[in-house]
Amino acid sequence: MSRGSGWDRFRRHKAAVASVAVFAALGAACLAAPVLAPYQIDAIDLGNLRAPPSLTHLMGTDDLGRDVFTRMLYGGRISIAIGLLAALVGTGLGALIGATAGFVGRRLDSVLMRFTDVAFAIPTLPLLIVLSGYSEAALISMVTIIGGLSWMATARVVRSEVLTIRAMPYLEAARALGAANVTMIRRHALPNAMGPLIVAATLAVGNAIVIESSLSFLGLGVQPPTPTWGNMLMDSQSTMASKPWLTIFPGAAILLVVLAINFIGDGLRDSFDPRHHGG
Amino acid sequence: MRRYFAGRLLQVVPLLFGISIVVFLVIQAAPGGPEGSLLAAGRFVDPEVIESYRRRLGVDQPIYLQYLNWLGAVVRGDLGHSFATSRPVAEMIVERLPATVELMGTAFLLAAVLAIPLGLLGGLRPQSAIDLAGTGVSFLGIAMPVFWFGLLLQLIFSVKLGWLPVGGTGTVGATSLGDHLLHLVLPGLVLSTRYVAGWSRYFRGSLVGTLRADFVRTARAKGLAERAVVGTHAVRNAMIPLVSIMALNAAELFSGAVITETVFAWPGIGRLFVQAMFARDYPVLMGVLLMGALAVIVFNLVADLLYGFLDPRIRYE
Amino acid sequence: MRGRTGGQADRWAGLLATLAVMGFAGCRGADGDATAGGKRILRIAYEREIDLLNPFTSQNLVDISFSMIEGLVSTDEHNRFVPVLAKTIPTTENGLAKRNPDGTIEMTWPLHANVAWHDGVPFTSRDVCFTWRFVTSPNSETYNREQYLGIKGCDAPNDTTVVFRWDGEYAYYAGLFEAILPEHVLGGMTPEEIVRHEPYNRGAKTIGTGPFKFAEWKAGEYIRVVRNDNYWRGSEYPGIDEIVWAFIPDANTRLNALKAGRAHFGRILPTQVKEVRDVPGYRVNLINSNSVMHLDLSISTEHGRAIFADSTVRRAIFLAIDRRAIATQLMEGTVTLANSPINSGSAFFNSAVAYPGPDRQLARQLLDQAGWTVGPDSVRTKGATRLAFPLLNRAGATDRIAIAQVIQAELKAIGVAVTFETLESAAWTQRWRAGKWEAVVSAWFLPADPSLTGLYACDGANNMTGFCDPALDLLLKRSDRTLSVADRKRDLDLAQLRLSESARTLPLYYNVVPEMVSAAVGNYRGSGTNFGSFWNLYEWTLAR
């Protein structure tokens, strides 16, 4: 599986390539928020509430008269960061646990899977409330919870892939030749589980971003005045019929980013596509 | 394999026990107590009323005692009484189960109906325009926050067009099967999008992989007709991870979906849980979580069972 | 493969389509119609799910209970007590309230005759005394139990007369007994048993004397009550056959339900008022409620004392806040400015109270004079102390958080740094009650009777701010303990003035509850008291 052909495979996936561009553009814009933003993030203007998009305010103003474009840029930083970090934590943890469980098998597998069962049963909401008490660490608690409670599905997926692969003849041969378990996991199991793992990871990013907005719906999540696309989307719901731009901008942004990440994941999965997959 | 699953069944009770402890600690760790809801309306409440309320509920006792009391009651089949309504928790849960299962079941059905064709089309012709379109549609389901999607649909179909009701399970005083189904349409649809993406993606992915697999090539090389190859081998094998995921998700049949239930005023367990959390109604929380844990354990077992049953290559030790 | 799964999908689609068509055909008695079979059904999009129906122990404000259960009095939209089961409210003027030489008071309440409970049993004075015994018991969990403790005895000389023996003068007597419990249902049970008694809590035996009777409670969905055909006010009441209170806690869904014409009544958010200005067939009533949004400063904590003990600082902070802008711009003119915690419609409101400002210039001057100089980070300091404090916010309270942000911006301009500490609702309540905060934007819901003692007295049970003003205490406690309206007014006027001068709390505006009411509803008299707009439900009519 040479790098060259993997990259070629990715490039053939047009939607993925386009998505990289979109994601890079959005990401770069948000990163450059301090430079690009025309206004202060907390510049309240009570005389200009919920104004429609105009030349002075590209995306209009919100319920406190603040510039929506500015808040979209800064909000994107947090939303995207939550997505990426939570997915990293969740998928990384899940892959580790799943691969170990599938590969080592027996006792350890049983223990780990029961541990997974317990984790599945832990409710997100109370944990979030507990951790939200430390409000300076809002981002960290969000990432921890979303990531820390999303690893289970990935673990199961990776484990089943590893189980499938483990039964394959060439791995028996490798083991007979004396390869250590860790090497086997690293060299054989993980690369072959990459496909579903990538799908899981990209789904996780999108999930995390959307979960953040769902938490805003419940009144939790990142609290004002800190903007995130999620809480901007939620706050604008009550005036959706008459002031649609307030929902369209954050909503479209979430949509775009999640779509893009998922297409990128598709492309990545194809580029990793092993001919040995699926047995 | 039979021994493996017997072993798993035996683990259910100790697992539940462990989960109950973890879950109890987690909900107790959230600051504040049930007396918060006494004060929620902003009225002046006499401090001794708050005290006598706490004493009646037993929340002035140390945590381990509260847990042991709860556990003692549970093993006798008593899930306790809600702090807010004083009603038996079991009753409160059971009366909401039918509506919850109905909503979740409808969502699953719709999701399956949408996901299987989407995944199939994409898997058979990967990288084609159809695949791309199907991919995009299924991604839309997970990319759009549920509350936004729900409120948008509500605005369009209930308010602007008036075709569908806004919420609830039926029109009070004029219920009928048709009326009830109309009430199911929007929440069921909105909720199904949560699963369509994952299911169609897994199905498609594993179908693509399966079609490339050795044994399929062998079958083709043997000259079997394309139909036979795809139909009898590839799809069946590709279904395996999909079925596994579906079984996992099925556990949610009993936990509901709070956002959809809130937006469409559906009397489900998801909403019950969230309200109980904000009110720190510990008995209700423990009851719902215990039931959810049981569902998770059972359906995880089912998923593993299906996997082992369907895929002859997998061996459980 | 394709054929197999495609065929299956087709079959399911066909089934669903058939059912959908059936649905369309079968569902012509749409929600919005008041008439399902000619009955006048009032549909209310209610904003919460209630816990139980016992009006004394319920944790919610009890609209639904009061449609079935009546008391001696209720409150009209002007914060005046009106007699319901009582014929007249006793006062010293009408002689029904008698002062005894030993300082005790005897109040005689004449009751209406021919009043029957929903199950036909006659309502008598014994039910009133039974209610008194329940409420005053130690474990009745009645939120304002303390106010009943002045009644040392209850006599029922005949079926239509109740006599209360008070140990002194209590100004708030007229607002008690807003509900009466049926002795023939709950008698013989201990208070603890009554509190947990599910048949009364849940509807099976929720017996009242009110215009409506309990019919059905579908958990999580709705409560249905039906017309009491033997209502004591006369067979022409009530003008409605059935009420369905549908539980729709989500504000957006509620709004959609009203816009779609699926409900006749619903409470919406002030931010949604503009959304529904042009919906035909509805009126939006902006109901001023007995709830004042205000900013509290506290000297209970060490940091609070360090910055707020000096009243000049507090005055400066209040001067920098533009309350008018908050009411007219932030709240889009839906609310009215408040200068006192007492509702402006109350007879005891002192219209002479005013708060100066906004005046940033003066605020800065005051702070300079008090020794708080602006540091290099634009925040004022005095010695080692920065003039910075956290505002304790409750997550999900969007209006308060918006106000907090405005306050933050305005105080920044005078060199005061405000940060936010946002806690989830129950966690917030715990911190708030423990007094571990420096500043909070919140709203009390005051009863119709304007007793402020619990809030502002030095030992007030709900005084978490630590401020103590003995002169104010004197005025408040005296105003509680008199039956003379004139004396009470005098004391409360002075108290309101003193409160404003002490700059310990800044009233912002009276909370508004916008109520969207269908034009088909008649005799609606919206009210912002704890009784709410359904206080005269028996008079309501619904056009067919």
Contact in structure between B215 and B229 (CB atoms under 8 Å):
no
Q: Which helix (H) or strand (E) holds C120?
A: none
CB interface of B with A, residues 142-171, below 8 Å: 142-148, 151-152, 155, 159
pLDDT of residue A161: 78
The number of residues making up chain A comes to 279
Which helix (DSSP H) or strand (DSSP E) does residue C436 occupy?
none
Question: Nearest-CA distance from B287 to chain A in Å?
Answer: 12
In percent, how much of chain B has pLDDT > 90?
A: 38
* A131/chain C closest Cα distance in angstroms: 10
Candidates A99, A54, A130, A122; CA nearest to A196 is A99
Q: Hey, which residues 25-44 in chain B have their CB within 8 Å of chain C? A: 30-33, 35-44
The structure tokens listed for C376 are: 């290099």
> Which subunits count as partners of chain C given 3+ CB pairs below 8 Å?
A, B
Residue pair B111/B98 in contact (Cβ under 8 Å)? The answer is no
- Per-residue model confidence (pLDDT) at position A137: 60
The per-residue pLDDT for range B64-123, each reduced to its tens digit, is 999 999 999 999 999 999 999 989 999 999 999 999 999 999 999 999 998 988 888 887
Cβ–Cβ < 8 Å for B307, B247: no
Which pLDDT does position C32 carry in this prediction? 45
Residue carrying structure tokens 């399956």: B112
B242 touches chain C (CB under 8 A): no
Contact B202 A122 (CB under 8 A): no
pLDDT average, residue stretch A55-78: 93
Q: Which residues of C touch B264 (CB under 8 A)?
A: 253
Per CATH, the architecture of A3-276 is what? Orthogonal Bundle (1.10)
What token pair was written down for C77?
């939209």
Inter-chain touch A44–C405, beta carbons under 8 Å: yes
Does the pLDDT at position B217 exceed 70? no
Grade residue C179 by pLDDT with cuts at 50, 70 and 90: very high
Per-residue pLDDT at C251: 93
Q: With an 8 Å Cβ cutoff, is B172 touching chain C? A: yes
Which of B32, B49, B263 shows the shortest C-beta gap to C427? B32
Q: Does residue A166 register a pLDDT over 80?
A: no
Record the pTM.
0.89
pLDDT of residue C47: 93
- 3-class DSSP state of A126: helix
In a mutational test of the B interface, the residue from A237, A255, A266 whose CB has the highest number of chain B CBs within 10 Å is: A266
For residue C96, the distance in angstroms to the closest alpha carbon of chain B comes to 29
User: Residue range A32-55: average pLDDT?
Assistant: 90
The reply to whether A225 touches chain C by the CB within 8 Å rule is yes
The chain B residue lying nearest A158, using CA atoms, is B241
B273 touches chain A (CB under 8 A): yes
Residue B166 pLDDT greater than 50, yes or no? yes
Neighbours of C207 (CB within 10 A): 23
Q: Is A64 on the interface with C (CB under 8 A)?
A: yes
Which amino acid belongs to residue C346? S
Distance CA B161, CA B292 (A): 38
Top-confidence residue, B250 or A9: B250
Secondary structure (DSSP) of C344-382: TTSTT--TT-------HHHHHHHHHHTT-EE-TTS-EEE
Number of H helices, E strands in chain B: 14, 0
C-alpha dist (Å) from residue C32 to A217, C125, C318, C418: 28, 42, 48, 48
- Supply B287's token pair: 């009851």
Distance from CA of B202 to the nearest CA of C (A): 17
- Cα of B118 to nearest chain A Cα, Å: 15
Chains that touch A (3 or more CB pairs under 8 A): B, C
Q: How far is A224 from chain B (nearest CA, A)?
A: 19
Give the mutation candidate from A129, A135, A275 for the B interface (greatest B CB count, under 10 A): A129
Q: Which of residues 23-42 of A touch B (CB under 8 A)?
A: none
Q: Is residue B230 within 8 angstroms of chain C, CB to CB? A: yes
Which residue in chain B is spatially nearest to A154 when comparing CA positions? Answer: B245
Query: pLDDT at position C1, please?
Result: 36
Among C41, C198, C530, beta carbon nearest to B86: C198
CA distances from A207 to A123, B104, B189, C19, C68 (A): 16, 19, 19, 33, 47
**B contacts of C51 (beta carbons < 8 Å):** 37, 84-85
B36 and C429 within 8 Å at the Cβ level: the answer is yes
- Torsion sign (Cα): A59, A64, A65, A69: negative
Alpha-carbon distance A10 to C136, whole Å?
77
Q: Flag if B148 and A247 touch (Cβ within 8 Å).
A: yes
Q: Percent of chain C, pLDDT > 90?
A: 79
Distance from CA of B10 to the nearest CA of C (A): 36
Q: How does the average pLDDT of chain A come out, rounded?
A: 82
* Digit-coded pLDDT (tens) for C17-54: 444 443 333 333 334 444 556 789 999 999 999 999 99
Q: Tell me the pairing of strands C242-247 and C222-227.
A: antiparallel
Give per-residue pLDDT as tens, C433-477.
999 999 999 998 888 888 899 899 999 988 999 999 999 999 999
DSSP state of C396: T
- What pLDDT band is residue A179 in, cutting at 50, 70 and 90? low
Q: Does B276 touch chain A (CB under 8 A)?
A: no
Look-up of token digits 């310990």: C504
Report yes or no: A220 at the B interface, CB cutoff 8 Å: no
In this prediction, the answer to ipTM > 0.95 reads no
Supply φ then ψ for residue A189, to 5 degrees.
Answer: -65, -55
Nearest to B24 by CA among B290, B256, B300: B290
- Token pair 């006027």 is found at C493
- Residue C21's pLDDT is 40
Spatial distance between the Cα atoms of C354 and C318, rounded to a whole number of angstroms:
12
Cα–Cα distance, C405 to C391 (Å, whole number): 10
Write the residue in B33, B39, B41 that is nearest to C61 by C-beta: B41
Instruction: Report the residue from B45, B158, B176 with minimal CB separation from C260.
Output: B158
Handedness of CA C135, C136, C139, C142 (dihedral sign): positive
Q: Which of B11, B135, B148 has the most A C-beta neighbours within 10 Å, making it the best mutation to test the interface with A?
A: B148
Task: Please give the Cα distance from C372 to C309 (Å, whole number).
Answer: 13
pLDDT digits (tens, 9 = 90+) for C319-366: 999 999 999 999 999 999 999 999 888 899 999 999 998 999 999 999
Give the mean pLDDT of chain C. Answer: 90
Which of A142-156, A203-217, C248-262 reaches the highest mean pLDDT?
Answer: C248-262
- Per the model's pLDDT, the better-predicted residue between A184 and C265 turns out to be C265
